[in-house]
Each structure stands twice: as structure tokens, then as C-alpha cells.
Amino acid sequence: MTDAKRALKKGGGVLGAVKEIGIILVGALVASTLLRMFLLQVFVIPSGSMENTMLIGDRVAVQKVSGFQRGDIVVFKDDLGWLRSTTKPPQQWWQSGLTFVGLLPDESQNYLIKRVIGMPGDHISCCDSAGRLVVNGFALEESEYLFKDASGKQVQPSEMVFDIVVPQGKIFVMGDHRNASSDSRCHLDATYNGVAGASAFVSQSSVVGQAVATVFPFSRIGGHPRPATFAGVPAATGTAPASPVINGQPPPAC
């Protein structure tokens, strides 16, 4: 074999290897994008509203395949405008690209994460004589997940008194750190699209998915199963109302 043929063969081998690597990278990016869009997405916890279940800076995996129930933790779009306006430096183009394909966690500020306390038609009140939330007549035992401080003192299930029925297609959500969470309770006295209390209830269509696990930092890796207490909640009776039912005086905004 002449030197020219050897050089040509060697060049073809290099080009072939580069082409193969390129195909692999494109395939990996496509797979990652599809995974993010339809199956799983990672989000960064921005606040202390879910402490100590989730801490600020935790990365949590959110599954988009199956639905969710009472007791599950969900990520949802802030379609109701709960978030206060904040100034955040825009992402670089490459950061936006890596976030889109799922190689960086989503740190955008138009998502929230809370625990589902009530589904459509559920009657939720706070609180019974023992200070517990009551869902469809069942008192929740929430010590499994409610925030505790360094001394072990647990927050109350809610210092805000309310009595509501969740309307059709909506959910009622609360943070695990009840004293540091601007959740459904904080919007019961507001009017949205002309409906009193409507901004307190998150549309099921706004839910991105269920937070199933903390994946980073490594010291906090672990799953987030549905707390056992929710298994005791009976199904709602009757048909969910078209509009929110708020009995008595709603609590003031947080």
C-alpha cells in the first residue's frame, strides 16, 4: 500500500470516528429532550416553604407519566400569579439550551412546589379541637412531614382558620413549613376572574408532575412517598362544585 493510500485510509478513519461521535451526541441530546418533555424533569428548590422535606438548593426529580393524589408533592406553573416579582439575571444562551434538553435543572421562577391537601370536591377545614387539618371528616396526622426546628418543635398544621370545598378541576395545596409558605390558604380572600377565592385553587392542568425524589446533593438523596395518613381520607361526597365554596370569613392574605 502506497503512502498516499495509507494517509487516505487514516483520514477516513478519523472522519468516520468523528461522524459516529456526532451521531451519538445528537442521539443523546434528543433522548434527553424527550425525557424532559414527557417523562422526567429536574427542578431546583428556591425557598424554604417545603422544609425540612426539601431544602433550598435541593434538586428534585419530577415525574410526568402518572397522575397524583392527595398527599403527593407537585410542581405547578404559577398561572395564578402567586409569586412576587423578583429580579434575576437572565440565563446565558448555553444555559438555556442545556436546561431545555434536561442537562441542567430548571431554575426558572415561574414554578412552585407544594403538597396536595385536597382534590376536587374535598371538604377541608382547619382545625379540629386537637389542632389538626380535617379532610372529608378525617383528621390528618401530619407529624411525618411538617417542619420541625432545631429543638424539635413542630409548626402547627395551620394558624389560619378556614373551611372550604375544592371546586372542579382544582387542587388545594400547602407547604410543609406552614409558617413559611404562601400557599392556597393565603389567597382565599382574593377574587380571580370575578370569582371569590378562585386564586386559592390550582388548576390540575397547571401541574407539571409529581416530585418523587431528591437527587442532589448526594447527602440528601431519597424518595418522597405519599404520607401514610392520606390513606385514611375518604372519597369526597357528591359532585365537586363549579366554584369554590368558602364557609365563614376567609383568612387574610399572607
Please give the positions annotated as active site: 49, 114
Backbone angles phi, psi at 183, to 5 degrees: -120, -155
Degrees to nearest 5, angle at CA 229 with 118 and 185: 35
* Farthest-apart Cα atoms in the chain, separation: 95
Strand partners, 203: 170
Q: How many CB atoms lie within 10 A of CB 47?
A: 18
Q: How many CB atoms lie within 10 A of CB 115?
A: 25
Contact 163, 155 (CB under 8 A): no
Helix, strand, coil percentages in the chain from 3-state DSSP, rounded to 5:
25, 25, 50
Contact 243, 146 (CB under 8 A): no
State which amino acid sits at residue 5: K
210-to-64, 110, 194, 242 alpha-carbon distances in Å: 7, 16, 30, 25
Question: Order of strands, edge to edge, in the sheet holding 138-139?
Answer: 138-139, 133-135, 123-126, 162-165, 245-246
